[in-house]
Structure 1
Amino acid sequence: MDTKIYDSIPELLEGLSDHGSIHLECNQEVAEDIFQYIRSHWGAADTAFLTFQDKGYERQTVMEYIGFFHRLFGETRAVEDILEDFDLGDVRKAKMRSLRPGEYTKIQLARVSMQNAKLYFLAEPLTNLNEGAMGKILRWIEERREAGAQFVTINSSLRYALMMPGTAFYAEDGKFCEVEKDGEESEALEEELEILKIPAKSGNSTLLFEPREIDYVESMNKCSYLSVRGTLYQTQLPMYELEEVLKKAGFFRCHRSYLVNIQKAERFEKWTKNSYVLILNNKEHSQIPLSKGRIEEMKETFHW
């Protein structure tokens, strides 16, 4: 099946009926245009928004803030249950102004969860979250989708877009391109390259990384990036060449858009019925999408 490419925001959002939910990697300018389009074309009673500009009432505690919207929306779940569902129990008495970015994101997601909307627009819903909170948010998104809701999420990293239930897209040159799904025909492999180090650009310099230094490789907007000590470096080598070279060093193609250094893998987890991730043991504890169809291959390859 061919991947979709949409030429405009209206075309992309018309595709919601086909995709159920759309998770887009794009910049803030594109995100703002999508937000304004949804706000002007969808009924206010049927939509819920989490935007980059959302600010809470800084003098309120988390409990007071959630309690206010609990009454406003006529929510039937207990406030304590909502705090637990969004991993907020430890900060329930904290002032809003004292919260860290990830905690603030969880509070705003708890707020929109009480609106029982048909369409949710969420900007960066997984950014700054630890793995436990991320799993809870993904399960909530899946539960709402199963109840008939649709999601449009905005993400600065394609990795987050790929983790969420629905279809991942990236914005490029004014178009919206669907990320190819696993199982589709892969690129033809060229002649095998014998490379001992992987080159990548950093300003005007070319850096040479040993495979053991690389945590994972990410394909984004038709470019490949090496993740080394928390920083992404662009390499001119295409993904299929990197896969052929790095599989000899213990790398595995865990997703069409990702190669992961299995030596850095700590564990893999099932977060929703169709969402799996590899958790790395690097400083960032990176969460890398793991395609459901590649789990058995991974187990057989590495004798897990």
Structure 2
Amino acid sequence: MLTFHKIEKRKNDMTLLPTFSCTMEQNQIYAIYSNVNIREQLLQLLQMKTSPSSGEILIDDIPLTKKNKRQIYIHYLRDMLYDHLTVKEMLQFLHRMIDTTEHIDTLLSFVSLEEKANTRVHRLQFSERKRLQFAYLLLQDAKVIVMEEPDQNIDLESKQILMKVLQRLKEHGKAICLLTMNMESALNYGDIVFRIDDKGLHEVEMKQEEKEAEINNDLIPVTLEKIPSKIDDKIILFDPFEIDYIESNDGVSHLYMNGDAFPSTSTLAELETKLLPFGFFRCHRSYIVNLQKVREVITWTRNSYSLILDDEKKTTIPLSKSKMATLKEMLGM
């Protein structure tokens, strides 16, 4: 339905959006985890405010144009609501513009705004405004729904309503694309989750944990070169090379990638054993670091050392005095 074919965006010698390809089909929720700059580039391309340096965007295998871009509806982080209208008037305004069988009162009930029907939009709380936006989505006749940070700063009830709305959109045959900087949000809402960084597009492997899975004792266990993390009822499998470092706090190990932390199901000692063949180093009793991500070794005093990672924040990891000699030997110093 929505296809990015070898899309890339450059400005002078700078790559703003790395080359990637993917197709988003109907009846699916896709989540794209990226930084805000990449997200902004994607939105501008979908709005045709800018053109790709190479590649193309297609809708139903037809190149995106001013005519068919109406098949894409973008739900922005900043709402486009009319403050002087009531909630019901706001929905009626759109209802008159679109040929739909959805009933306004049914929509209001679906997003728990029936008691706010005659309240003016400017009097709504932030989460209530977002719910009104969610109701707006159910009136759209576009084939593709793109949502920018849909659950940012909303309350728990509104997050539950968002989940219902996404499922309803799936039932209506939409292709849904969520753009977010929050990996937990991507994993909670997305059927398929992607991560875009300067190296391109990567699918995040995950599996739904079966609560009543039958155990077959005849199965031979297979050793995977993946590091698991559990979030709610999902187990996420990370490639070792994605991990920047691991920190242990209060007996719980956390995997760090691009500034985000994910709880590990293994102890630090277990992770040290698993990751040793991949170039990881136990640099401190509470830290394991991916040596491929280390840019500098800093000596503060005769007994104090740090490792500086090659990331945007120049993350600093402590290096124990007892580990310094081992590190020098590993690096051939």
> Shorter-normalised TM-score: what interval?
0.5 to 0.7
Instruction: Tell me the SS of whatever aligns to 1:63.
Output: helix
User: 2:32–2:177: 8 Å Cα contact kept in structure 1?
Assistant: yes
Relative contact order: is structure 1 or structure 2 higher (C-alpha 8 Å, sep ≥ 6)?
1
- Cα 1:110–1:188 change in 2 (3 A) is closer
- Cα 1:131–1:243 change in 2 (3 A) is farther
2:85 to 39, 46, 60: 60
The Cα RMSD (Å) is 3.6
TM-superposed deviation, 1:124? 1.5
Mapped to 2, the partners of 1:92 and 1:46 lie a distance apart of 29
Instruction: Tell me the SS of whatever aligns to 1:68.
Output: helix
1:80 to 92, 102, 105: 105
After superposition, what is the alpha-carbon deviation per residue over 1:259-290, rounded to whole angstroms, capped at 9, x for unaligned? xxxxxxxxxxxxxxxxxxxxxxxxxxxxxxxx
Residue 51 in 1 paired to residue 91 in 2?
no
Residue 150 in 1 paired to residue 190 in 2?
no
Residue 28 in 1 paired to residue 36 in 2?
yes
Instruction: Tell me the SS of whatever aligns to 1:105.
Output: helix
Mapped to 2, the partners of 1:243 and 1:18 lie a distance apart of 44
1:125 to 150, 163, 166: 150
Paired position in structure 2 for 1:263: none
Structure with max Cα Rg: 2
Mapped to 2, the partners of 1:79 and 1:101 lie a distance apart of 21
Output the TM-score relative to the length of structure 1.
Answer: 0.57
- Cα 1:69–1:17 change in 2 (3 A) is closer
Paired position in structure 2 for 1:14: 22
Mapped to 2, the partners of 1:110 and 1:65 lie a distance apart of 10
Mapped to 2, the partners of 1:243 and 1:168 lie a distance apart of 30
Instruction: Tell me the SS of whatever aligns to 1:181.
Output: strand
The letter of the residue matching 1:87 is S
Mapped to 1, the partners of 2:170 and 2:227 lie a distance apart of 36
User: 1:19–1:167: 8 Å Cα contact kept in structure 2?
Assistant: no
Mapped to 1, the partners of 2:187 and 2:98 lie a distance apart of 31
Mapped to 2, the partners of 1:23 and 1:158 lie a distance apart of 9
Correspondence list, 1:1-304, <5 A = 8=8, 12=20, 14-17=22-25, 20-40=28-48, 41=64, 43-173=68-198, 175-182=200-207, 185-187=224-226, 209-210=249-250, 220-221=257-258, 224=261, 240-241=266-267
Structure 2: state its 5+ residue gaps.
1-5, 9-16, 49-63, 209-222, 229-246, 272-333
Mapped to 1, the partners of 2:34 and 2:81 lie a distance apart of 25
After superposition, what is the alpha-carbon deviation per residue over 1:150-209, rounded to whole angstroms, capped at 9, x for unaligned? 0111123111111124211223225222111238935379xxxxxxxxxxxxxxxxx984
Instruction: Tell me the SS of whatever aligns to 1:224.
Output: strand
Mapped to 2, the partners of 1:84 and 1:223 lie a distance apart of 36
Q: Higher strand proportion, which one? A: 2
Output the TM-score relative to the length of structure 2.
Answer: 0.53
User: 1:23–1:155: 8 Å Cα contact kept in structure 2?
Assistant: yes
User: 2:34–2:196: 8 Å Cα contact kept in structure 1?
Assistant: yes
User: 1:172–1:221: 8 Å Cα contact kept in structure 2?
Assistant: no
The letter of the residue matching 2:184 is R
- Cα 1:219–1:108 change in 2 (3 A) is farther
Mapped to 1, the partners of 2:249 and 2:18 lie a distance apart of 43
Mapped to 2, the partners of 1:31 and 1:132 lie a distance apart of 26
Aligned-pair identity in percent equals: 18
Mapped to 2, the partners of 1:47 and 1:156 lie a distance apart of 21
TM-superposed deviation, 1:51? 1.2
User: 2:27–2:175: 8 Å Cα contact kept in structure 1?
Assistant: no
User: 1:219–1:239: 8 Å Cα contact kept in structure 2?
Assistant: no
- Cα 1:140–1:74 change in 2 (3 A) is same
TM-superposed deviation, 1:32? 1.9
Instruction: Tell me the SS of whatever aligns to 1:74.
Output: coil
User: 1:169–1:179: 8 Å Cα contact kept in structure 2?
Assistant: yes
